[in-house]
Structure 1
Amino acid sequence: MDDIIQGIAIYALPVIFAITLHEAAHGYVARHFGDLTAEKAGRISLNPLRHIDPFGTILLPLMMFLASKLVMGNGLLFGWAKPVPVNFNQLRQPKKNMLWVAAAGPGANLLMAFFWAAIIKFGINAPDGIYVKPMILMGIAGIEINVVLMVLNLLPLPPLDGGRIAVSLLPNKLAWKFAQIEPYGFVILLVLLVSGVLGVVLWPLITITKQMIVILFGLYV
């Protein structure tokens, strides 16, 4: 039980900020390119309370963490925040600007992974008198969560960010056809998850990304 409580304490902050800042980034970049929908809805904010979905941000990650901790001994997490409203038709160049709005979320996750890596680096080099183990553990959790979210969202499947990036880059005719997948995107994602295909595709990319961060920051805990 103590391990579970400690795990929740370590993962809570990284999970909340990974999910909510991902959404806030979408709104900020959309505003930059002319769409004020998110701003009018009060969603361009670093306040997690504006983005938290009670089920997707709190209840589901908590249930998944507890279940995986009890069954497999490790804490697996998945969740989402309330999607930031974006009206792509309000962008100055909708098809072109869509790429940057979509890429903002995964980009925010990458920056947060770097932030947590810097926290670990600080912890490794901190004086012996400072109790840094929780800081390092939280940093490891932060890298894990943000890299998983980044790689997952870059999957080229609408309505994931990678799907919208693909729509932006494809020629108009192909982009229109590809965008028609969006209503079925989450069903396809669920099938890939249950079948194990999603893990086969994503985990090598996740592992490589984490290794690159370790090398970049010289993290050897």
Structure 2
Amino acid sequence: MFHFPSLPELLLSLPAVLWAITFHEFCHGYMAYLLGDPTAERAGRLSLNPLAHLDPVGALMLLVFRFGWAKPVPIDTRYFKKPRRDLFLVSIAGVTGNILTAFAIGLLIRLFPSFFLGNSALRLFMFLMVAINVGLAVFNLIPIPPLDGSKILYVLLPPQWLEKYFWLEQYGFIILMVLLALGVIQAFMNPIVFLLIRWIL
């Protein structure tokens, strides 16, 4: 899963990466919009235009290492009627969009196997669509700020633990980078990503 891709694989990965990060952030923004928050729409982020959501470093990480991030969609919880529930729904929406994409691609492959097996480039592209969307989903479920998993954890943590967790948020990106450099994230993600890919395909 975590290997430096060849040039053909990089080229085929590019549209898969752009779709994965764009749909992920769109789902966050659209869910917030459905729950009464117009912030993403006003910021021009309720869009399927990749340029609206692109974070160059996060996209490069996703392109090369199969995990990464996009520019977070802005939300304002003051618009939510039930802030804890609605924050959970917004946070899980991006991951859900990636998993649904992977399942949709997997279904196409199952329904029309001869069509995809007969074209090696198309077969690789479809596999990359599944792998990249699954990788992005699993990575974002890690409960370290600023990933989606941290927002989900906010909702689930007892109130007396929240202050310490909010304090941790300022160091979240550093912690994430250290864990990536040590290979901890990869060791955690690999089995889950492989299992999901095998299940989907």
| TM bucket, shorter chain | 0.7 to 0.9
Aligned length: 197
Root mean square deviation, CA, Å: 2.3
Give unpaired runs (5+ residues) of structure 1: 66-75, 215-221
**Aligned equivalents of 1:119 and 1:61: distance in 2?**
27
| Alpha-carbon distance change, 79 to 196 in structure 1, aligned in 2, over 3 angstroms | closer
- For 2:22, the equivalent position in structure 1 comes to 20
- 1:84 partner letter: V
Alignment partner, residue 187 of structure 1: 174
Cα distance in 2, alignment partners of residues 202 and 61 from structure 1: 15
**AA matched with 2:52:** R
The answer as to whether partners of 2:116 and 2:123 remain within 8 angstroms in 1 is no
Query: Counterpart in 1 of 2:155?
Result: 168
Instruction: Say whether the 8 Å CA contact 1:34–1:91 is kept in structure 2.
Output: yes
Q: Which residue pairs with 2:192 in the alignment? A: 205
- Larger deviation: 81-90 or 103-112? 81-90
Residue type of the alignment partner of 2:88: L
Q: Aligned-pair distance for 1:174?
A: 2.0
Structure-1 separation of matches of 2:136 and 2:13: 14
* Alpha-carbon offset, residue 186 of structure 1: 1.1
Comparing 154-163 with 10-19, greater Cα deviation is found at 154-163
Larger radius of gyration between Structure 1 and Structure 2: 1
Q: Report sequence identity in percent.
A: 40
Q: Compared with structure 1, are the counterparts of its residues 194 and 54 closer, same or farther at alpha carbon in structure 2 (3 Å cutoff)? A: closer
Amino acid in the other structure paired with 1:52? L
Letter of the 2:175 partner, please give it: I
Contact 2:66 2:135 in 1 (8 A): no
How many Å separate the matches in 2 of 1:79 and 1:211?
21
Corresponding residue of 2:115: 126
Q: Is the 8 A contact 1:29 1:104 kept in 2?
A: yes
Unaligned runs of 5+ in 2: none
Q: Which has the higher contact order (CA 8 A, sep 6+)?
A: 2
Q: What is residue 48 of structure 1 aligned with on the other side?
A: 50
CA-to-aligned-CA distance 1:56-100 (integer Å, 9 cap, x gap): 43xx349x73xxxxxxxxxx3444322211122322221221111
Shift of residue 109 of structure 1? 0.8
Structure 1 counterpart of 2:9, which letter?
Answer: G
TM-score (norm 2): 0.87
Letter in 2 for 1:135: L
Q: 1:127 to 1:53 in 2, by over 3 A?
A: closer
| Residue 196 (structure 1) aligned with residue 196 (structure 2) | no
Distance 1:54 1:187 in 2: 18
Which residues of 2 match residues 72-221 of structure 1 at below 5 A? 76-126=65-115, 132-214=119-201
